[in-house]
Amino acid sequence: MAQPPPPAYDPIPIDKALYEGIANTGASDGQRTKVESFVIPIRSGRAWKVKAGQVCRISTPEGAQVGDLNVWNANNPRERFWAARTRQLQQSHVKVHDRLWSCLPYLRPMITVTADSLASYGVDEVGGRVHDLLGTRCDPYVDQLISGTEFDLHCHSNLVRAVMPHGLNESDVHDVLNVFQVTGFDKEGRYFMEPCPAKAGDYWEFFAEIDVLCALSACPGGDLSAWGWGESGEASDTDMLACCRPLGVDVYDLNDKDAVLASWTAPEVAAYKGFHGLKDPTV
């Protein structure tokens, strides 16, 4: 079988020792202090802020559950997570030491993945991988197009409601990282989803490179072991609700921040300062 061509983008260097040091800090041994903790109920969403230099953990406290994650610069929401470019610069399913990159004209790492209890999942027998960047959030528009019904608890809607208290609106909600979700492409190139492999207590953790506003939806598809949204109100919807579980979020300060982050520098926005071939009106 012919070998595929090399990746279009070479890996961008990263100080792995720095991020391994961050990952190795723990609350139980006094190296971290939990500053915020909450649970996102099933089929709902919530937004929260993580300051540059803090660590955030997303977990599955009661078992398998997919979460749809959006990220913005907390001080400038025009700078937001760019799923497509992250997919090119990193990979189709994010792993430890991968970054979520921001959109143009900023183009810098917003968060870096530091820990993942599902890191050993790898590639399954049908080509599925976990923590999906191939797809995006479920939404009521596509649902109505396909099923002809209305349902207000899709991830898109959950994220819209979550960010409104922070001054954002539906237009600010963008393509997501599907945390804990296993996906791939079949032989015809069609997108598929598999049941979530997470168990109670599994987690995915990141380090904030800049101040970020995050929003997370506990997907109404739950662990994706059954198909549908449960919008009909019929008895069969009980099966869908049984697939749904809450998500946990914890935010930590690093207690010895100066030592742990001694080699860390907050990333600057992209260095390109040109005018795309246009004349500078100030010159």
- Residue by residue, pLDDT tens for the chain (283 residues) are 788 899 999 989 999 999 999 999 987 889 999 999 999 999 999 999 999 999 999 999 999 999 999 999 999 999 999 999 999 999 999 999 999 999 999 999 999 999 999 999 999 999 999 999 999 999 999 999 998 989 999 999 999 999 999 999 999 999 999 999 999 999 999 999 999 999 999 999 999 999 999 999 999 999 999 876 655 545 455 678 899 999 999 999 999 999 999 999 999 999 998 889 998 777 7
How does strand 109-116 pair with strand 99-101? antiparallel
Place of tokens 């802020």: 49
Partners of 71 in the β-ladder: 214
**What pTM did the predictor assign?**
0.95
Look at residue 268 in the predicted model and tell me its pLDDT: 97
Q: What is the 3-state secondary structure (H, E, C) of the chain?
A: CCCCCCCCCCCCCCCHHHHHHHHCCCCCCCCEEEEEEEEECCCCEEEEEECCCCEEEEEECCCCCCEEEEEEECCEEEEEECHHHHHHHCCCECCCCCEEEECCCCCCEEEEEEEECCHHHCCCCCCCEEEECCCCCCCHHHHHHHHCCCCCCCHHHHHHHHHHHHCCCHHHCCCCEEEEEEEEECCCCCEEEECCCCCCCEEEEEEECCCEEEEEEECCCCCCCCCCCCCCCCCCHHHHHCCCCCEEEEEEEECCHHHHCCCCCCCCCCCCCCCCCCCCCCC
* CA angle at 188 for the pair 224 and 7, rounded to the nearest 5°: 90
Look at residue 128 in the predicted model and tell me its pLDDT: 98
d(CA 91, CA 196): 19
d(CA 10, CA 90): 9
